[in-house]
Amino acid sequence: MTIIPAIDLIDGACVRLRQGSYDDTTVYDADPVAVARSLVGAGAKRIHLVDLDAARGSGHNRAVIAAIRAAVPATLEVGGGIRDRDTLAAVLGLGIDYAIVGTVLARDTDTVAAWAAVDGERMIASIDARDGMVRVAGWQEGTAIRATDLAATAGSIGLAAVEYTNIARDGTLKGPDIAGTVEVAEATTIPVILSGGIARTDDAVEVARLSEGRVAGIIVGRALYEGYFDLAAAIAATRTQGPA
């Protein structure tokens, strides 16, 4: 199981939001490039980058993302504000490995399917849900789409993976939604990554054990930056951890 540390970007700084609220933002580091280097130094092979300025339509952090790309050898995935073909091309053009699509997938699946016909192997579906129902537009708007159904669609149109977030857990340090993530994983043919709620190093081992191989990775943010999650220890532990 892959441990994927997150770097969320606002105005070029590394931050975290609580449950997606821009009004509840903590700045952790003014130098995201240094943060990325430290994550790779701890053993990270993949980093999750979210451009929160792009997500809310107030600019973007592509220069910072390009600097991170130049600085570290890790696999990079980038999300935030990718809602049209030009933006997708611009983000992929930074040399990153995966672009993450969320709102546009739920609102206009046919358009994303057309993109996936060309770049599907470099595209990841971000599925954010509350009580199993997909939410979009920075989690501010509900839909009538079940997370499991959207995950199945993501697989059928040829996306590379799904990242599933139970938004009630995100940024809360209340523990991950393992059962909900497994349900999503069982609904699709592509790898599913858990996001939200990771609170301690042992959570990584619990996800690996209880999911019985059905969860391909976890994304960790706040717990890492606040010292509750030891990245190197989690990577070492999950390297040898088998299912229950």
DSSP per residue, the chain: -EEEEEEEEETTEEEEEETTEEEEEEEEES-HHHHHHHHHHTT-SEEEEEEHHHHTTS---HHHHHHHHHH--SEEEEESS--SHHHHHHHHTTT-SEEEE-HHHHH-HHHHHHHHHHHGGGEEEEEEEETTEEEETTTTEEEEEEHHHHHHHHHHTT-SEEEEEETTTTTTTS---HHHHHHHHHT-SS-EEEES---SHHHHHHHHHHTTT---EEEE-HHHHTTS--HHHHHHHHHH----
Catalytic annotation on 128?
A: yes
- Of the listed 8, 53, 170, 177, which one is catalytic? 8
- Of the listed 128, 170, 177, 203, which one is catalytic? 128
Catalytic annotation on 230?
A: no
Enzyme catalytic residues? 8, 128
